[in-house]
Amino acid sequence: MAESISTMHSPGNTHSSVHESPAPVYSPLYSVDPDQERGIPSGKDTKLATNYASYNHPDIQSPGLESVDYSHSGGLEVVPQQYPQHQQQYANQGQGQYAYPQEKGQYGYAENAQPSPPMEEQQKRHKKVICGCIPLWLLIGAIVFISILALALGLGIGLGLKKHSSGVSDGQLNPAFMSKVGAFNGTGIAIASYSFSQGGYGVLNAYFQHHTGQLRKLQLNTDGSWTGGDATTIIATDARNATPISAVAYAMDSIATWHIFYIDQNNLVKERISDNVTNSWRDGPINQLSLKAMDHPNVGLQACWYGSFYGSANYTHSPVPGTGSNDTAKDSVIGMHLWYGRDATTQEEVNWTYNTTQWYVQDEFTANGHAGVGCYSWGPGSVSYVMMVNLNNQVNVMWKDLNASVASTTQHPVGVWTNSSAVIPNVMSNTSLGYTNYFYVQQADGAIAGHNISFDAERTQLMTAQMFTIPQKPLAGSHFSVTAVPNKSGGDQLMVFNQDNGTDITENLRDISSGQWSYSSLPVPNV
């Protein structure tokens, strides 16, 4: 979701928009084999698991509002998937694709990349001696064997680094691919604005994982310069390697607030909150649920504001899709949805209503838990939309009418998530998803594509003639975050943030209507 900002970008580190980037050197996150995990979103209602019963949200009737109707406590059916034990491990990685380990140092990174072997193994190596001496024939054989092994390893490592065909052994990341400077190789990226309730132009914040494992913040100023990202901007120190990051910002009651969501080293969904009154970070209430994401390098996580565009603020922002207007809607029921990958075939939804202190488990979807989630729930009318990747590597666009005063029909059910006919095929199985004016996915060929969606409940459709791709390809499996903001010339611009080389955060910029893309690297500090 985009928020108000005016930017004047300096030309530093800007590349030609007609430049076609070479193939990525290596990828921080590998694509999940679709034959390993099968499943599609299901529209059949069923009750949530009994261990969530205490978290069912109280009923809220909200006819005509862009909010959630909680009069229905059912979830979406999850079809259990049974796999052979070996298939639950890491999928086959293609060329140039690498997995991140779950190594837990002080800051979530590998502090001891090459641990010593266990003591009993060291003792076994000294047992074969005769009268305290190693037999000559054994010594000669060992020398020959070691020489051959060293040569083989040298060739193997050299070829491997040249071809980038591996990088993991038994699910462990080769330390050579752990970034030592800049951003974490595989960092999540989240975007939120710094606007206040008085409205007007604000400042854009980019949240990312530093190579130390810490979550930090970069700030875009109104003159186009970036500042921050150093140790004074630390948000959290317990994030897992390559955690997805999601941000929601709003202004209510003259207070601007930011919520940052991530996954910690114990695979728990965590929330940190800050505002322009305290100017400090504190734990959020979602931590009380102990929501457990799957223990896997690739896992989805996305929070989304619902209701009015930004709360009670008189924001200036990019046009609300389907209206052509920059006006902000006002609603009486507002809050957040959050989806996370509970396991390989389940995306679970939890919800929070503004001015409350409790999150509630709401729905669960049979979908690809390794991929991101997109959403649109801040426009006019009573219908919310969510986009998920099924395990056939397709994006489904689902809708839910929240107007309890409307009669439910077969063609237009009310209060349940329903698949539309809009389907985007051939996406990367662990693609991030993002929506602001355009819906972005990473295609199977590695390019990020923007799709224009006409949102109209059961008549929702893709405007295929208006699809575009960003010429410069990011790393395969790169997290990305998107927004659209006004500029001082009176127009609006698209902004997409991703990784191109594993230590960077790259900004892709284009006019909202048309034009060439330009690229620049954010100044991520090395310390």
Lookup result for tokens 């970069």: 218
What is the reported pLDDT for 97?
Answer: 30
Helices (H), 72-214: 119-124, 136-163
Give pLDDT tens digits for 76-133.
322 323 333 333 222 222 322 322 322 323 222 223 323 333 333 334 433 333 334 4
Tokens standing for residue 276? 């322009």
What domains appear along the chain, each with residue ranges and CATH number? 45-82+179-521 (2.120.10.70), 119-163 (no CATH)
Give pLDDT tens digits for 25-77.
444 454 444 333 333 333 333 222 323 333 333 322 222 222 222 223 233 32
Average pLDDT, the chain: 71
Q: Tell me how many degrees the CA angle 406-412-413 measures, rounded to the nearest 5.
A: 75
Which of residues 338 and 114 earns the better pLDDT score?
338
Which of residues 101 and 304 earns the better pLDDT score?
304
Cα 144 from chain centre = 50
pTM, rounded to two decimals: 0.70
**How far from 521 is each of 220, 342, 502, CA to CA, in Å?**
12, 33, 12
Q: Is the pLDDT of residue 163 over 80?
A: no
Q: Which helix (H) or strand (E) holds 360?
A: strand 360-366
Residues 307-327, mean pLDDT to the nearest whole number: 47
Encoded amino acid at 502, one letter: G
What is the reported pLDDT for 177?
Answer: 76
Quickly state the pLDDT bin for 352 (edges 50, 70, 90): very high
Q: Is the pLDDT of residue 135 over 50?
A: yes
Give the residue from 292, 105, 283, 275 showing the smallest Cα distance to 184. Answer: 105
Tokens standing for residue 241? 């390697």
Tell me whether residue 92 is exposed, middle or buried, using C-beta atoms within 10 angstroms of its C-beta: 0 to 12, 13 to 18, 19 or more. Answer: exposed
Encoded amino acid at 208, one letter: F
SS3 state of residue 169 = strand
Cα separation, 324 vs 463, whole angstroms: 16
Give the residue from 378, 369, 104 showing the smallest Cα distance to 244. Answer: 369
Expressed in angstroms, the distance from the first to the final Cα of the chain is 30
What is the reported pLDDT for 196?
Answer: 54
What is the reported pLDDT for 496?
Answer: 98
